[in-house]
Amino acid sequence: MTVSGELKLTPTIEYLEEDFEPMAEGDKQRRNLSYTTEALRLWFEPRQDVYVSGNLFIFYEENNPDKKIASDTFVVFGMSSGDRLSYKIWEEGGKVPDFVLEITSKGTVRKDRDENPLIYRTLGVKEYFQFDPSGDYLKPLPLQGLRLEKGKYEAIAPSILPDGVLSLHSEVLGLDLRLYPDRRFRFFDSKSNQVLRSYAEAEQERSLEKQARLELEFRLKGNKKHLAR
């Protein structure tokens, strides 16, 4: 039997899910990388239509695995909160992240300051923030934000609170990004007047509340015994 013609094979396009970027540069950057993603995940946990992730590849051009970026923390509204190996925009109905935060370091400052804003602006990311835990590389302020206005990024005006806290408001998140005088970075909800917690901080707070309840119950039982005598 003779087979005519050539068998055409469709090349397999591989999207690497592993991020081979350098590790966090020091404890400060590592702590902030963990906090920013954890705090937002906990905050939006009640909602199933908000996806929060960090240090995950965002592929933004189909059939071109080189067109990718690994945001330190990003939030997408209107999408499932389920886990993903990567975020492929064309598989998400074209929905791009609404909020991105990069933790700037010596090795990433040029990319975070010059290259990433061009990519995020082109994609249509509504807000892009940068935070430099060391305060050495991002000038003039170690916490800065950009908001997309008519296709261009405009700087978000910072505020210095009476206690010296540097604060920027995210309209997308409905939260403030705050940098305290001791260099601590925290998300803050002005409506409930509370700081967003990390997993460890939330667990510690629950433990303290439980301990306080037990102590109160113990005192009440002691008072009842005293009155019964």
- Residue pLDDT, tens place only, 72-97: 999 999 999 999 999 999 999 999 99
The b-or-e profile of 47-58 (16+ CB within 10 A means b, else e) is eeebbbbbbbbb
User: What's the pLDDT band for 127 if we cut at 50, 70, 90?
Assistant: very high
pLDDT above 90 coverage of the chain, percent = 69
Question: How many degrees, rounded to 5, is the angle at CA 82 between CA 112 and CA 178?
Answer: 40
User: What's the pLDDT band for 145 if we cut at 50, 70, 90?
Assistant: very high
Handedness of CA 192, 204, 23, 55 (dihedral sign): negative
Q: Rounded distance, CA 81 to CA 49, Å?
A: 6
Q: Rounded distance, CA 207 to CA 199, Å?
A: 12
Task: Give pLDDT tens digits for 183-215.
Answer: 999 999 999 999 999 888 877 666 556 666 666
Q: Rounded distance, CA 114 to CA 3, Å?
A: 56
Task: Give pLDDT tens digits for 11-54.
Answer: 567 766 665 454 456 677 788 899 999 999 999 999 999 999 99
What are the angstrom distances between the C-alpha of 8 and each of 14, 72, 105, 109, 110?
A: 19, 40, 47, 45, 44
Confidence at residue 186, expressed as pLDDT on a 0 to 100 scale: 97
Confidence at residue 3, expressed as pLDDT on a 0 to 100 scale: 46
The whole model's pTM is what? 0.82
